[in-house]
Homo-oligomer: A and B are copies of this chain.
Amino acid sequence: MQRKTLLKRELSKLGIDGILITDLLNVRYLSGFTGSSGCIIITPKNSILLTDFRYQEQVSEEVKGFRIIIENSERSLEIRNICKEYEIKKLGFEDHNVTYGFYEKLIKRKIRLKPVQGVVESFRIIKSENEVEHVKKAVKRAESAFRKLLPHIKAGVTEQKLALQLEEFIKREGSQSLPFNAIVASGPMSALPHAQPTNRRLKKGDLVVFDWGGECGGYYSDMTRTVLINNNNISHQKELYYTVLEAQKRAIKSVFAGIKSARIDAAARDYINDAGFEDYFGHGTGHGVGLAVHEKPVVSWRNKEVIEENMIFTIEPGIYLPGFGGVRIEDMVIAGNNGAEILTSLPKKLKIIKR
């Protein structure tokens, strides 16, 4: 079914006869419009897209099945006029996206408003075949980029240089944008789950965490690999690595449509805790990926979501030992009725760099 039709069916349940979509990812999801300024109003029978003159040409190429209005006046006034024309008595709006300032403007226009939560997101969480294809291409682009980076990883090179090269390769593979700045974190820096690349040079014995992603058609990928720069004694690094890897495999194995996401988290966390690292895995096990690189579902002990068929999310446990280093291994999976399909194909055997 068309996405906007799905949304039309939700309106009466929400107690509204129109909905204003301002989150640009939701605008893109519903209409295909990729501009940086625009919003959508959906009524039971009509679909309207508002944007400004800069996007006149682009919107007519990208968007079908919507009435397009190029704004002539302040947006809140345009929205009021649409409410009048389409006899919208109560307009829903996305409360995670509309600012308080814009809410006040709408109220001053005498529009009756109702905040709604996560409506389009509840569609986005289940991926269509076409969306899965895009995510798979985003995975391929990110993986090809990493394969090209591998020969450059060696002692003496800086994190920043590697991160920049990796980003260049990701773009050259066809990604129009990056889901986030690539993370390259070596030695003690690898103990910070969200480290930004520094001018630190890779050293012998370093664990080096790479966390990066690609893009295709607006859909992202997200993955992490940890490599080791060889040294005389690397037994502690190896122990960390294979503890995380076993935890990660267990979490993946636990996935099926119907499981609570907290149980996937527990599959990884219990193993890490039992291995004696219970204080060193501070973040959740995973998150959904799609038009946003962080979206629902949340795979965490804090969460009560149930995994459904065709949800795409990451599995990325880690262990972080302050001052020493960290390991994180992240794959993307898609949930099926009998288990998970792993979308990532980069090998997970510990890569020991001997350069």
Q: Which residues of chain A have a CB within 8 Å of any CB of chain B?
A: 53-55, 57-58, 93, 95-101, 103-104, 115, 117, 164, 167-168, 171-172, 176-177, 181, 192-194, 282-283
Contacts and interface: CB of A to CB of B under 8 A. Distances in A.
Contacts of A55: 194
Given A93-B100, A98-B99, A167-B171, 10 more contacts: A54-B194, A55-B194, A95-B100, A95-B104, A96-B99, A98-B100, A99-B100, A104-B115, A164-B172, A168-B171
Given A99-B99, A100-B98, A171 B164 contact: yes
21 contacts: A54-B193, A54-B194, A55-B194, A57-B192, A58-B192, A95-B99, A95-B100, A96-B99, A96-B101, A97-B99, A99-B99, A100-B100, A100-B103, A101-B115, A101-B117, A104-B115, A164-B172, A167-B171, A168-B168, A176-B181, A177-B181
A37 to B, nearest CB: 10
Nearest to A97: B99
A192 B35 CA distance: 13
A54 B101 contact: no
Nearest to A101: B95
Nearest to A57: B192
* Residue picked from A101, A167, A181, A192, most chain B C-beta under 10 Å: A101
Nearest to A163: B171
Nearest to A37: B194
A197 to B, nearest CB: 9
A101 B98 CA distance: 8
Contacts of A103: 100, 103
A104 to B, nearest CB: 7
A186 to B, nearest CB: 16
A57 B167 CA distance: 25
A177 B167 CA distance: 11
Contacts of A172: 164
Nearest to A36: B194
Contacts of A181: 176-177
Nearest to A191: B57
A177 B164 CA distance: 11
A22 B168 CA distance: 32
